[in-house]
Amino acid sequence: MTKLICNVVGARPNFMKMAPVVLELKRRRIPQVLVHTGQHYDTNMSQIFFDQLGMPEPDVYLGVGSDTHARQTARIMAAFEEVCQKRQPDLVVVGGDVNSTMAVALVAAKLHIPVAHVEAGLRSFDRTMPEEINRVVADHLSELLFTTEESGKENLLKEGIEKQKIHFVGNCMVDSLLKHVDVAVKRSPWDAFDLTPRSYGLLTLHRPSNVDDPKILKPLIEVVNRVSRNLPIVFPVHPRTRERMKKSGIKVAPSLILCDPLPYLDFIGLMAKARLVLTDSGGIQEETTVLKVPCLTLRWNTERPITLTSGTNRLVGTDPQKIERSVTQILKGKWPKGKRPRFWDGKAAVRIVDVIQKKFR
């Protein structure tokens, strides 16, 4: 196959979703170019993930950085258009739901370059989430839609997307997790916090709806402070959240252990041996389901319903009582073990590259 594939990444959750695709294309010696938009740029949010996932260095780095949604999206679009004009790819592959995903899909579609979307069809049905808008736009511009769970296909069909474009391939984020989790656990990342396996919880919090308004963020941290008195909680703090906490002068209990965003291996190692996870992330809901670790999602909706119906995830929103009650249940051992969803088996990227090769044959 002499076609050129252009893979694009931009922000932290893209790296583990796209790494398996990039590596599988490389294994099959399919020509590719890797573009990093630079939406995330701190070492701990970007470079360290490339290193730990064994990703090749990007061929092109757009260096767009942070800004308002419109300005960030516009900068990615202008820079990526030049890449497409110069490199003339035959397919652009994007993953997930970040601003880079949508911006790049829009540019490629307008240049009549087919787009493939990894993790297509997920819907929270909440258009106040920037990610929901990014998903809808990317999906409707894509020729190949790779879904992770059955709900993806149902959502896309309801939106009028042709059946033959949709391919249920499984979950690339799980490909990365299964490949690296054993090594990650062997590194005993809990030692750095003076903790032992299953004796701690893990918290992540970065969604604008949870962190931007102190009236929501403060009670959330307060309830975690209380919970942490029975179970120490490690909290790798996203740059956005750190800034908001500082601004509002929010205090944390000594048993809520703050640290910088963690490298991939440290994070999945800690997650694998956590007693429970509290999060507003999308991907972590899926990773905890695979690891069979109880997960409380600090949101009122999820675009990943399979983690509720088959997995260990439950929605607790931002209701302190609900959060505390659920933690008590978990600590009493009253929590479903869950079942790993279909095709979350470490082979999603193999299926994706099979479909891509078939398209070009």
Under the criterion CB under 6 A, does residue 74 sit at the interface with ligand UD1? no
Size of the residue set binding ligand UD1 (CB under 6 A):
18
206 is catalytic: yes
**What are the strands of the beta sheet with 201-204, ordered from one edge?**
256-259, 233-236, 201-204, 276-279, 295-297, 313-315
Report DSSP state, residue 356: H
Minimum gap (Å) between residue 329 Cβ and ligand UD1 = 27
Under the criterion CB under 6 A, does residue 42 sit at the interface with ligand UD1? yes
By beta-carbon proximity to ligand UD1, the closer residue of 17 and 238 is 238
β partners of residue 201: 233, 276
Tokens of 244: 């908001």
Any idea how long the chain is? 361
Under the criterion CB under 6 A, does residue 138 sit at the interface with ligand UD1? no
By beta-carbon proximity to ligand UD1, the closer residue of 40 and 351 is 40
Question: How many angstroms separate the CA atoms of 231 and 124, rounded?
Answer: 31
Q: Are 53 and 15 in contact (CB under 8 A)?
A: yes
- Active-site residue among 117, 167, 206, 238? 206
> Buried (b) or exposed (e) across 257-267, using 16+ Cβ within 10 A?
beeebbbbbbb
Q: Of residues 98, 237, 278, 349, which one binds ligand UD1 by CB under 6 A?
A: 98
DSSP symbols for 272-290? HT-SEEEE--SHHHHHHHH
Under the criterion CB under 6 A, does residue 11 sit at the interface with ligand UD1? yes
Instruction: Say which amino acid occupies 235.
Output: F
By beta-carbon proximity to ligand UD1, the closer residue of 124 and 147 is 124
Minimum gap (Å) between residue 356 Cβ and ligand UD1 = 25
Q: Of residues 31, 197, 219, 239, which one binds ligand UD1 by CB under 6 A?
A: 239
By beta-carbon proximity to ligand UD1, the closer residue of 42 and 162 is 42
Under the criterion CB under 6 A, does residue 130 sit at the interface with ligand UD1? yes
DSSP symbols for 34-68? EEE--SS-SGGGTHHHHHHHTPPPPSEE-------
* Footprint of ligand UD1 on 20-39 (CB under 6 A): 39
Question: In the chain, which ranges are continuous DSSP H helix?
Answer: 12-27, 47-53, 69-87, 99-110, 130-141, 150-158, 172-186, 208-211, 214-228, 239-247, 264-272, 283-291, 306-309, 320-331, 348-360
Under the criterion CB under 6 A, does residue 41 sit at the interface with ligand UD1? yes
Q: Of residues 37, 52, 99, 279, which one binds ligand UD1 by CB under 6 A?
A: 99
Q: Of residues 206, 275, 299, 351, which one binds ligand UD1 by CB under 6 A?
A: 206
Question: How many angstroms separate the CA atoms of 287 and 312, rounded?
Answer: 10
Under the criterion CB under 6 A, does residue 82 sit at the interface with ligand UD1? no
Dmax (CA) of the chain: 59
Under the criterion CB under 6 A, does residue 12 sit at the interface with ligand UD1? yes
**Looking at 95-103, 171-179, 197-205, 345-353, which segment touches ligand UD1 (CB under 6 A)?**
95-103
Q: Of residues 5, 7, 13, 234, which one binds ligand UD1 by CB under 6 A?
A: 13
| Catalytically active residues, by annotation | 206
Interface ranges with ligand UD1 (CB under 6 A)? 11-13, 39-42, 45, 66, 97-99, 130-131, 206, 238-240
